[in-house]
Structure 1
Amino acid sequence: MGRACLSLGGNLEPERHLRAAIAALEARFPGALVSRIYRARAVGFDGADFLNAAAVIDSDLDAYALDAWLHALEDAHGRDRSGPRFGDRTLDLDLVLYDDLVLDGPGHLRLPRPELRHAFVLRPLAEIAPEIVEPLSRRTLAELWAGSPERDTPMTPVAL
């Protein structure tokens, strides 16, 4: 079993897609710990606000298989990968940390995921798993969040 930290988000019908993604995670990975949902501005492009959350799961899948499972779930929710890298999306599920793995895998699989530096990923993860250590800096998620230059980024909690 590996412990995985995930980032969840979307800005096209995000309530519907996040609700379904969280249900799928909880069904496949019993005991999944899911953060609050936050509304935040799009990063890297002009678009509708995103709803973002995080989850921590214990997975029987290795990092590659888990990444493939997350992609399949995105695809099942109409994720369109034909547009620009930074753009609107129904669902964006990223493997951010997996135990203490550091790797550059095939496609976009990179651990730790570089987006961990952004408030929309780091804040919800630090809230639900403050003790998890990021393997490159050897700092906990709570320490990373406390020192984040994005601490003042506006993020509003929302209910699904």
Structure 2
Amino acid sequence: MAQIYISVGSSINREHYITQGLHAIADAFNIHFSKLILSSLYESEAVGFAGAPFYNMVVGLHCSQSIKQVTKILRDIEFAHGRSENAQKYSPRTLDLDILLYDDLILESPAQIPRAEICTNAFVLWPLSEVAPTLCHPVLKKSYQELWQQYDKESQQLNIVNNCW
């Protein structure tokens, strides 16, 4: 069983799509919802474009699927929850699911693992450091807690939102 971490985000009907996304992840991986490792829910400004604020969090789980299967499952969940197949990279989203980590693999395809956004975006690093504080980044060889402590917290503002699940 692989340990994976997934970034979950939404800027459209945020609470609804985050909740729906979490349940869809549990269903797709045949895991009881209570077995998901859930970070706090954070609100952040849109990054890369002017738009409504996002809700973001990180989910951890164990799965038996390959990295290729996981990426397909996540895309299928996004499409089932209103994401357009023509969605541009920096645009509003009903649901955005990105695999961050798959065990300690280092890959470029079928997905970039570990995802570069872990170290560049507070809305990824802070929740990841919350759910996997002692886990080490497979390239940087530092824990996510260490990386969060070293992160320039003035560069992106985050607010913790009450959990919606």
TM-score category, normalised to shorter length: over 0.9
Deviations 1:60-100 (A, max 9, x none): 11111111101110010011141421111100000001111
Q: Contact 2:57–2:123 at 8 Å: present in 1 too?
A: yes
| RMSD of Structure 2 on Structure 1 (CA) | 1.4
Q: TM-score normalised to the size of structure 2? A: 0.90
Is there any run of 5+ residues in structure 1 with no aligned partner, and where?
Answer: none
Q: TM-score normalised to the size of structure 1? A: 0.93
Equivalent of 2:74 in 48, 67, 70:
70
Task: Name segments (4+ residues, structure 1) moved above 6 Å.
Answer: none
How far apart in 2 are the matches of 1:88 and 1:95? Answer: 19
The structure richer in strand per residue is 1
What amino acid maps onto 1:115 in structure 2?
Answer: E
How far apart in 2 are the matches of 1:58 and 1:131? Answer: 17
Matches within 5 A, 1:96-135: 96-106=100-110, 109-117=111-119, 118-135=121-138
Equivalent of 2:92 in 88, 91, 113:
88
Q: Does 1:21 align with 2:21?
A: yes
What amino acid maps onto 1:78 in structure 2?
Answer: G
How far apart in 1 are the matches of 2:49 and 2:38? Answer: 27
Is there any run of 5+ residues in structure 2 with no aligned partner, and where?
Answer: none
SS of the aligned residue for 2:100 comes to strand
SS of the aligned residue for 2:152 comes to coil
